[in-house]
Amino acid sequence: MGLEGIVERLRVQEGPEGCTFGVHVAPGSGQDALVGLYGDALRVRLRAPATEGKANQALRSFLAQQLGVSVDAVEILSGHTSRHKVVRVAGVTAGRVRALLKAE
């Protein structure tokens, strides 16, 4: 499967409040990095540990930086204590979220 097929597997829903998509987080990694897909969700490695909300805050900061928005524009909707999360990012399009995979 080519890169286009992989990018299209990322399920992103665009709505009036922003784009919503799944993220699979691997906390406690050696670096902060987008490493592709996990099913139909973005797979992200974070240095922050999964304690006291540190990985959640690191995820919000990482996605904000990658998408060029403020940290306040990134909201974790579900999965606060899970590796699989659903996030919403205000001020971006589905195309911009999918472009993250093309850049990697």
- Structural domains of the chain ordered from first start: 3-103 (3.30.1200.10)
Mean per-residue pLDDT, 70-84: 97
pLDDT digits (tens, 9 = 90+) for 9-66: 889 999 999 999 999 999 999 999 998 899 999 999 999 999 999 999 999 999 999 9
Residues 6+ apart with CB under 8 A from 77: 20, 85, 86, 87, 88
**Average pLDDT of the residues in 64-88:** 96
Could you give the 3-state DSSP secondary structure of residue 34? Answer: strand
